[in-house]
Structure 1
């Protein structure tokens, strides 16, 4: 005698619970990626510590050093932390300490990061070096999560994990824990992309505004935001005027900075004219490569000498 099938069983594909990947298996790429992301920070700290302790930091031009605030540690703590606030990091700490001045070229550095260092530094008793490092590390952690979330919108866990690993071990990833804007800008850029992909235009606009207050290149976020907007909504102005206004918030960050410069120094474009002091200008990609090679040779000579 044939036993009848239970209702609803007929037509099933035969997939059983043993065929489905376990939750632990699907989360393994995420855990592995997080381990690499965290381990890479520890490794880079160790390399910097060994380099500073064994080779030494060397003599830097006086304009690139700020011993009172940017070199607050000595001994092995100095080898561990002080190297992360050299070059641009010194200027961010100077700005966080005493604000902007027109004559010294500090207006080339946009204000959000030094503002965070200044006001969050109160929590660490005014230790702006450590504050800047912690801000960068926290922004790096947030960037790792947002990158995973962004890639997972189109790909599986394994590819998302690879994206996180490539970010963590990239040759320039050491900037992501320095007293630089890289981590903060990356966090805000990824947040802008995620919110734009999800159609959350106001949040995307706010992230774009903050990114522009971090670096001048933040204004370029309007391009992908406009693309995502068109892909989702089209250009139906009667129904989407408010959303378009949210996209244009990207420019408001630049307007805020220009307004401050106009009120403080009478020069709304002071950030642009200050770029000449840092030898920054528009140029072809091959020019950047040439400058990078020259800087590498200069650095090697400093180490050898």
Structure 2
């Protein structure tokens, strides 16, 4: 007798594999997603490194591990190895020169501690912390998304987070991965109304990157919102139109209001902690601000850089209107149905963070990297359509934009006037 092979057998086998995979714990799925995304980014980094020419750090065509340590990674290493200057350095013109006060201390000091424990050199220690913190951030981001969405949608949102065009920053010795971990944990605790538990996490977040000001603003506005719900008009109980796990209306208790008030005070104090430390060490009350503005070349003037950049890009008339158009477009995004489904806390965070950028930031190529804290919008993007074609297209476009970001901004190529655009 001749045995025949059922052509459907391989498909049945794949189906069994898929069914078995679906039963794996959530952290296995998130790990596989995140590690796969980082391997893709690593391949892009390695390809770009082969094309890297003469640069300020090492010979052309460096290996992967050297290539990912350039730019601010060297500043974090400086802070870890030598600490922070007690006197602000000056350049030949008598102005404050670039120095490590622009780089918050939690990340480099963790690397110093890891190096002391393991014997690792500073840059490898920074890289290890960044990679571990990035994976931890993916775990916490998933748990945050599960507060609002089902398992499949939350996993797709983690895919978007892990493949976002600037997501390669999560695997290099920058503080973004550590800050994202602490920010996501802070937001998760706030969403769960564990305000007192959030306090130490928020304080650590405030010492990792300058996200304390918008977080304090978010917490303050959330307190006002809850006070209105408690003592003003009662919540209507309307539920979001998107998501599989809508959150029921909740009227805060007096204890929750007091706890949230404490979080507001502590987060506001934490937001000022690093500038205050710089003042205490250097004796200059504007030490941090002076250092931050060195890279932009101008003094800090609120809002003005957006209009300057608008006029540079779009001319004297349209350039003045450009910031208003941008703010209006973002406001419409915040009022869209998929974003409204994120709930009050995450919508307030996205609004306050973008407001912080508009008030203080000088738009430049680094702005793309600074959009990473808007990661809750990944869940809104996953809600926009359940079509596999749509979601797959988003991932492909994100990976293509990673190539653009790494080749254009991470790889160093001297501009005609000197220097290069920073990532």
Measured against the shorter chain, the TM-score band is 0.7 to 0.9
| Structure 1 residue corresponding to 2:45, chosen from 43, 48, 53 | 48
C-alpha contact (below 8 Å) 2:52/2:411 kept by paired residues = no
| Structure 2 residue corresponding to 1:80, chosen from 50, 64, 72 | 64
Residue in structure 1 matched with residue 110 of structure 2 by the alignment: 116
Residue in structure 2 matched with residue 94 of structure 1 by the alignment: 78
Q: Does 1:292 find its partner at 2:351?
A: no
**C-alpha deviation, 1:222, in angstroms:** 2.0
Q: Does 1:59 find its partner at 2:55?
A: yes
C-alpha contact (below 8 Å) 1:121/1:131 kept by paired residues = yes
Once the two structures are overlaid, the 10-residue window that deviates more, 274-283 or 259-268, is 274-283
SS of 2:365's equivalent in the other structure is: helix
C-alpha contact (below 8 Å) 1:206/1:249 kept by paired residues = no
Gap regions ≥5 residues in structure 1: 1-21, 68-73
C-alpha contact (below 8 Å) 2:219/2:264 kept by paired residues = yes
Q: Does 1:220 find its partner at 2:214?
A: yes
Distance 1:278 1:189 in 2: 25
Q: TM-score, normalised by structure 1?
A: 0.75
Flag the 1:215–1:244 CA change in 2: closer, same or farther, 3 A.
same
Residue in structure 1 matched with residue 33 of structure 2 by the alignment: 36
C-alpha contact (below 8 Å) 1:204/1:247 kept by paired residues = no
**C-alpha deviation, 1:235, in angstroms:** 6.4
How much is the aligned-residue C-alpha RMSD, in angstroms? 3.6
Gap regions ≥5 residues in structure 2: 1-18, 90-97, 232-252, 314-363, 367-404, 417-423
| Structure 2 residue corresponding to 1:192, chosen from 171, 186, 189 | 186
Distance 1:43 1:297 in 2: 17
CA-to-partner distance for each residue in 1:183-210, whole Å, 9 max, x for gaps?
Answer: 0111111011000011111222222222
Residue in structure 2 matched with residue 202 of structure 1 by the alignment: 196
Distance 1:50 1:87 in 2: 18
Task: Write out aligned runs for 1:156-305 (5 A).
Answer: 156-229=150-223, 239=255, 240-279=257-296, 283-284=305-306, 287=309, 291-292=364-365, 302=413
Greater RCO, 1 or 2 (C-alpha within 8 Å, sep 6+): 2
C-alpha contact (below 8 Å) 1:201/1:247 kept by paired residues = no
**C-alpha deviation, 1:298, in angstroms:** 8.0
Distance 1:186 1:132 in 2: 15
Distance 2:278 2:218 in 1: 28
Residue in structure 1 matched with residue 343 of structure 2 by the alignment: none
C-alpha contact (below 8 Å) 1:192/1:204 kept by paired residues = yes
